[in-house]
Structure 1
Amino acid sequence: MDVFPAENQVGGYGDQALPAEETDKDDDGVDLCRICRSPEVSDNPLRYPCACRGSIKYVHQQCLLLWLNRRGYKQCEVCGRSYSFVPVYSENAPERLPCHEFLRGLLLRALRVVAWVFVLLFNAYCYSLHPWGRETAIENKRVFRVPEKLAPLLASFIYDWLIASFITLIVMLRIIVQDLFGAHVENGPVHGVVARVAFVLWKYMRILSDWWYDHLIRLRFFDAIMVDVPREEVVRLRNAQLHEFGVIRSFLFLLDDNAFAVLAISFHVSFFFVLLPFFMGKLVVALLQVSTQLLSGYSLGQEPVIVGYLTMLLLSFAYLGSFATLSRDSIQAIARGLSMGFLFVAEALPLYLWITSVKVWKNLSVVKDGVILCLKIGVLPLAIGCWFDFCTLPILGTPVSQRLEMISEYPLAMIIHWMLGQICLMWAFNSMELIQRILRKRPFWFLLDVADPNYKITKLRIGQILFALAFHGSMMVIVAHLPILTISHISPSFLPLQLWIYDERIMFRSMAAYTCLTRLAPIEWFAELIKASAEPIVHKWIITVSSWLKLSEFLLENHADQNVRPLQHRDDWFLVSSIAEGSVVCFYGSQSDTTFEEDIDDDDRLIARIGLMLVLAALSLFLISTISMVLPILLGRVFFHSITFITFGLKNDDLYGFCIGCYILRAIYITTCFVTNHIMIGRTDLLLNFVLLWIRNALLFSIWISLIPTLLGLLIDLMIIIPLQVPLSESPVYSLLLDWLIGLVVLHIWTCLTMFTRINCFATVAWREKLERIRTIGINRLPSTWLLRDVICSIIVTLSTTLGFPYLVAYYLFPWLGFSGAVNLAVQRLIWPVLLAIIILGFVAKLTLDLFIYIHRVEYNDRYMVGDRVADFTEDLQ
């Protein structure tokens, strides 16, 4: 029986284990491994771990593991089936662990959990001693409205992030100094108490950084930041020698390596950056109580950590100054050095200044190029971003004075304007690229061509910069400012937009909502939607208007039905150059030697027609921009007002309304095109099938979001809300609308957790299989009877039984048994909470049992597992 280590580390075949291209057996008809093309041997048999058949059915486990380690995932690249491995245990392995061994493993894991909790509490305590920690705790208490004892614990997560950043910085410095530059620290003789202490501290810090380095490798951290460095030079496990901690590691033998390393790193950093300065500051304050008035400021008397930092700094200076104790000979040497220094300054300084001025004059072009690049890459996008902000101020109702005041108070906010300018330049680049795919180059003869071999990005072109500023400024006025003014003039109540972030009651909830909206990736969706719709519209518009104004020969070379042509291949440098030049540039070589002046000589009215075309283009952009602003927001507001009866006073948000309106318009457009296309091609039968399918899905969806959430919300109301809020002496008031909303939220959360996450404790195996079938196959391909019977009716029957049985018991059985009215009232109110308690106890018991089974399996594998082997395909089928 072939047994391999549990870590799937393989050896042997080396670099020869690659997929072979042969497809036949050997000459004797013996089955061959599809990787190494060798037959099976007694100690290395062939396996068939996937659904592949024929000559690629069999494989050696050793070859397969080597190939999987190279590929990085355990899945067949042909049939797509994931490989599975079964454990192999020793011959003396019992059926289950003895009780004392299981309790020992359970105790060890409980102590490790306690160690992690201790690390969290220790970091929270250390961070609370620092003034930053107290300020963070106060801010968390004010912002998140958490209890006073919980605020430092919440602030400790920031401290944990600082510790992780600190140890990551040390790892990066070690990689740069040791691995990349080849500089290694030699362990030579160490003299002096301070040097010995520093050496021991650095030794332990090096071990901890090695442990963190190995974890960063497993998280593939270096693959994301070191793209130019070969992976083999950085990704090498160092196997941190935690046993060198000696007595400390032996004393904490109950902790595993990860818990011990985290505890050591936390104590190491906290001791030198928080605890030691804190206690030193306390000692200094206690020794200098006489100078109370001197030490009663914020920086000294109230902050021992700051006092400790100053004390450590002074002690460091004193230690370094101890090496410079002056004798008589050293005073004379210093005097001679000072006199020689004055003489050198008097004679050599003018010569040095002359040499420096000559070098600066020779390298003046470098300074000039830097200034030009700063002007193109920094000032130009900043100016465009500021102008865009000015054009869109009425959207949020912010006056210019308030915006200028904010910029004066927070100058770093100009970075946002620079980013807005970069986005505008990128949008202009994409638009220019789209137009140049349709038109000839001859209309763009006056623009700069970055594809020209003589082009230099460091050459200052004042005319190009002024033209870019004028072009982008006018485009922003046409696309943003004029539509906003028109909307404000027609409907003064339309602007400013209503956003949740301006409501102080839900400010932080609105931030979470906007974060959720960002994670849903609407920006990429809008970009793809605009790109897919803008290209044919611009193409048709240019062809139609050019034909109407008789400009096809000048613009399109009489190819009114031409296809959009691709541009020449460009690299990233073209993109940088075009954005630096204002994105109003050409991207490919000339197509014709005919210039614009020759066209003017041929037709005197060409300029007038081009001007009329530009006016029509500006008017079209103005109308499209106005409609694009108004229509989606109006649809979104109508949607919010239509569901205002379930929002409980929550105002509509125009950002969400805009997204909802765009989705509605897109659905209307797709549906209209789909219906029109099927009617035109005469496939009304297929269209009828789709309509029936939509009606079926709409009916099933209406039941799913109406009846089921109502039953679920009513059950939650009876089990939790009414017992907590309504006394027994009062009659509860039921709100089916509120119950429906609560049930809808809970149903949505349960569905997402069960279908799209690995959390499987909130559903049975049967329900997980049902939801997995819906997710993989799709609701359109599933039969209606199965969806109605096994999914919808099943959950309705379960909820109805959970609601109806306690109702029958409380309202009919107990009164029939002759109990008093007070008892009947208590039973009617408390029977559903008791049922919830029973369900929770059963759920906790099931989780506890699963936890014990998991711990037993892990402990059993640790003690008796000797390796694993790949499972054959037929073994999984059985």
Structure 2
Amino acid sequence: MLDTKVLLIIFIVNICRVCRSEGTQEKPLYHPCVCTGSIKFIHQECLLQWLQHSRKEYCELCKHRFAFTPSRIYKCLFTGSVSSLLTLPLDMLSAQNILADCLQGCFVVTCTLCAFISLVWLREQIVHGGAPQWLEQNPPPLVPNQPDGPPAPGNQHEAANRRAEAEIDDDGGEDDDDDYDDDDDDDYDGEEDEGEEEEGREEEAADANNGGQAFCPYHIGHFSVVGLGIEDFVKASHFDGLVTTVLGYILLAGALVVCHTFASLVKFQRSRRLLGVCYIVVKVSLLVVMEIGLFPLICGWWLDICSLEMFDATLKDREQSFDSAPSTTMFLHWLVGMVYVFYFASFILLLREVLRPGVLWFLRNLNDPDFNPIQEMIHLPIYRHLRRFILSVVVFGSIVLLMLWLPIRIIKLLFTSFLPYNVMLYSDAPVSELSLELLLLQVVLPALLEQGHTRQWLKRLVHAWTFAAGYVFDLHSYLLGEHDDNENQPNIPPGHLNNNRVPGPGEGLHAAHQAILQQGGPVGFQPYHRPPNFPLKITLLVVFMCVTLLLASLICLTLPVCVGRWLMALWMGNTMVHELYTAASGLYVCWLCIRAATVLLSWMPQGRTVIMIKVHEWTLMIIKTVVVAVMLAGVIPLLLGLLFELVIVAPLRVPLDHTPLFYPWQDWALGVLHAKIIAAITLMGPQWWLKAVIEQVYANGIRNLDLHFIVRRLAAPVICVLLLSLCVPYTLSKGIAPLLGVQPEMQTLVERRIYPFLLMVVVLLAILSFQIQQFKRLYEHIKNDKYLVGQRLVNYERKMSRNSSSSFSSSS
């Protein structure tokens, strides 16, 4: 019993392997070798005494050589000159973490430049797009014969018309009153001067905010956190710097509002404008963070919470993953939320193509050329943005409940053995969930949705559902509009045709909302027939839409996964496969089946002979597509992912005394993402042979696939380069290094570091070659600028004629 307690104490408390005592601040414990368990830790003094006694420099158990870092004192403390004190900052510099410091410095400089560019662009929006009404310094001049005081809110349009008529009358009486025109010119010059002064004040405000956004918000938030005594709650969020900065922004915005109000009361016009512009900058910054950062993050977390039962997870698991890796967890949830918002917006754009203009009056039209979200952030008050944000959160959250949480509950009730999805692999070959999620979100879904016929299928399906629902609920005119002329329509009771007149009170609220958003009349609003019991039918339509979305979500959550599981069972047997692979393969199989069915239905009227010819052509095209897919989507991503693993991941993650393990599935998944990124960068870069080949392959498409061209010009060169990049370093480290008689430790170092070393050599040679080309161009430019006096046209001669003429001249 005593031995058990001793062993329990040993395994719970870290103790020294020699003196069996715990570590203190004066004598900390170290783990200098590979040993684990109760002999893992040791005091430095105990180790030094043992090394002096044994006269060995390595551990006798694991054979690992002990390493010591020198600790030196600064020379300036014991010298009489001042030079050592002046060079103290240079002595404190170290090249140990220079790569991480360079990356952090580049990130900080990039963020600073982006913030500065954003501030300049926001200033241009304020100057040229117009400032809010409360920011205007002077009220507009009153028109003669107009009563004093501002017009009532309901008579603003009439006042504007009166001002326009007054201006026309003044222009018409130009010959009658020249002195009045001179006064107008003087007033116009004064307005120009005031506009220049206001623009200069806005520039000063933006310049002041450049320093304010970099320094003030964090310190204001930090002082507020310390003063309120909530440091523990802020630190518990794992993002104390970000939370403190956002809190500082909020407090700074409140202080600017108070100061602006005080300046307005005491009529400090210049200070009032400066404070107003600063408030607009802070408000827009907060709204951008809220719209781009907070809203997708909320959507991502809500999606995760509603799908916990689908993966057999709990909130405790999510809390543990957040505590272990907060940055990665937040980034993944933000990414999933952004993808959700993006596809929701894409579906809304598709709905606008099907439905009658004016049906979706409560949603902003992203394709509207007059839509400018930054101008809305500048002009609309903050309470309207908060109301819109809360409404968006409620709508998006309700859709997630309807299309994710409720279908999961129904599936668990009807198909007890279908869930949970298999995302935790228990084999010896783990696959990164991050790579698989990125593969599904960035490769599988875009590849399906970017197909023109897939979008057309979805559009036709939505149109068919809308057509059926319109005739069932007598809302065809409201949903799809009237295609016939009004003259051919039957007699409609007054008030039932809503766009032949100005909408009355309570009618056409969507038109009024569009007028508020666009500050004008409704755009593209078409007439529709208003049936009896219109509110009740709209309610039934919404209920029918919810039921349809629920059934569609049930099909999407079950059918592709069932097909993918069946397909993977035929291929891999009883091996547990990640559910993202089954979902992706099932999506592609379903897409292929639907595509084959639609193609066969389109071929049926053409006869049997034509069908056989088409089948032969499509079979040949499918075989060529499979061959190309094996090379471009199989071999190249696998080699690229393996090369990335050897060059970047293994040197950074795996120590020299460990053996790196490679997983083909994970390397292939990451290689697909890397290949997509490289292809996108190549297409955006300068013109060279790889860009020309990729553009040619894109231009040909699948139906005009040239297998010989792809293999000879694209697949073979890329595969050869990747194989050389993998084989040449391996040959140098495994074949040539042992012949030079290096020690085993040095050989291991060469094997592990030769890939990043050769990458650095290639990058340096590329930079050197680029610089040489630039110097050559500079040399040619200087030579032509200084010494070029003219040009002479060169005659064209064929090679054969030139060779014959040269031979004739030599013989003569």
TM-score normalized by the length of structure 2: 0.40
TM-score normalised by length of structure 1:
0.38
Q: Does 1 or 2 have the higher relative contact order (CA < 8 Å, sep 6+)?
A: 1
